């Protein structure tokens, strides 16, 4: 990848998209086309100070591409409807499946390498494990319409006879880090826990409704957003085998570990209160996720991941405590 080549980032005003934009800037990539619905004012600070050529509304991107053939050299497609509590599948189908197909076809027709966001939500309850092996993709049973839409696109992509010159679908696990102020209920547990601690000195965590797990010992693979951006850039630069790649740390940790890391960073005593998991998500709740990272490591990615404690410390001290953006 040359610093002079034009790169498109979709979902650029969002959490991971805006972080990736800043991360690309830090490596000298400034010929960026940012694609999103830029009407949400809460997202505006995510792009403050970022360097790019142009912002294009997501509805207008394909017309722009047709009018500017040959300009775009790479696409990071991170734009999606990410609200896991949105139960209208039509909404997810429009943005996570149909729009992604258009991105794929644009990349295929114009010979543009593509890295896109899939999700660990595709794994559902983990009946088939958490391996990014392509053979299990059609068997997966996501727990909500968001996960279904992401898995449907993975299935579609794997079935295509024509494809971009390089493509990778990244199954993001529990990503946390700066630039998620706008996400409300969908922000990471770390974001919400930090604010609860600052306000009341305690954290509310969901009680376990599964006899196999104690309260607070539900387990997730938490990955710091900086590691996600590192993986995105590495894949585009090295372009290993096409396919799906898990994007986690491979080391699951409990929610209790997570909030205790926040208390420790803030030099405060640990104080956790357990509350019932809301009825609307209780039967769709994942109690365990852990990325099998063998494929990405075998492809050559060997950068160490942030530990949960180090990621929490950087996020809390460097950003949340200051109200800062990356």
Q: In the structure encoding, which two tokens stand for residue 88, read together?
A: 């209208």
State how far the Cα of 97 lies from the Cα of 92, in Å rounded to an integer.
7
Active site residue: 55, 93, 183, 313, which one? Answer: 183
Contact 166, 243 (CB under 8 A): no
Active site residue: 99, 116, 130, 146, which one? Answer: 146
Catalytic residue check, 146: yes
> Which residues neighbour 92 within 8 Å (Cβ) at sequence distance 6 or greater?
81, 86, 145, 146, 148, 149
Q: In the structure encoding, which two tokens stand for residue 120, read together?
A: 């660990």
Helix (H) or strand (E) holding 222, with range, is strand 222-224
**HEC-encoded secondary structure of 166-179:** CEEEEEECEEECCC
Contact 262, 222 (CB under 8 A): no
CB atoms within 10 A of CB 44: 12
197 burial type by CB count under 10 A (0-12 exposed, 13-18 middle, 19+ buried): buried
Contact 33, 99 (CB under 8 A): no
Q: Which residues are marked as active site?
A: 146, 183
């Amino acid at each position: 990848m040359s610093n002079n080549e034009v790169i498109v980032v979709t979902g650029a005003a969002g959490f991971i998209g805006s972080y990736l934009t800043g991360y690309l800037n830090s490596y000298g990539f400034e010929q960026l086309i940012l694609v999103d619905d830029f009407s949400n004012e809460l997202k505006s600070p995510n792009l403050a100070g970022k360097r790019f050529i142009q912002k294009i509304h997501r509805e207008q991107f394909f017309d722009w591409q047709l009018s500017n053939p040959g300009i775009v050299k790479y696409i990071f497609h991170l734009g999606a409807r990410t609200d896991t509590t949105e139960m209208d599948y039509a909404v997810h189908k429009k943005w996570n499946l149909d729009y992604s197909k258009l991105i794929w076809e644009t990349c295929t027709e114009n010979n543009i390498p593509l890295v896109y966001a899939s999700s660990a939500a595709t794994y559902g309850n983990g009946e088939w494990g958490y391996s990014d092996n392509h053979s299990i993709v059609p068997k997966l049973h996501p727990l909500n319409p968001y996960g279904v839409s992401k898995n449907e696109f993975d299935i579609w992509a794997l079935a295509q006879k024509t494809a971009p010159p390089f493509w990778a679908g990244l199954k993001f696990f529990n990503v946390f880090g700066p630039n998620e102020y706008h996400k409300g209920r969908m922000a990471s547990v770390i974001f919400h826990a930090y604010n609860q601690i600052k306000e009341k000195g305690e954290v509310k965590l969901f009680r376990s409704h599964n006899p196999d797990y104690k309260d607070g010992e539900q387990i997730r693979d938490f990955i710091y957003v900086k590691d996600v951006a590192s993986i995105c850039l590495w894949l585009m630069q090295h372009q290993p085998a096409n396919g799906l790649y898990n994007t986690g740390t491979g080391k699951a940790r409990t929610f209790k570990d997570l909030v205790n890391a926040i208390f420790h960073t803030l030099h405060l005593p640990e104080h956790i209160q357990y509350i019932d998991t809301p009825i609307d998500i209780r039967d769709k709740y994942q109690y365990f996720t852990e990325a099998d990272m063998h494929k990405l490591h075998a492809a050559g990615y060997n950068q160490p991941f942030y530990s949960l404690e180090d990621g929490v410390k950087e996020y809390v001290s460097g950003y949340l405590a200051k109200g800062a953006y990356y």
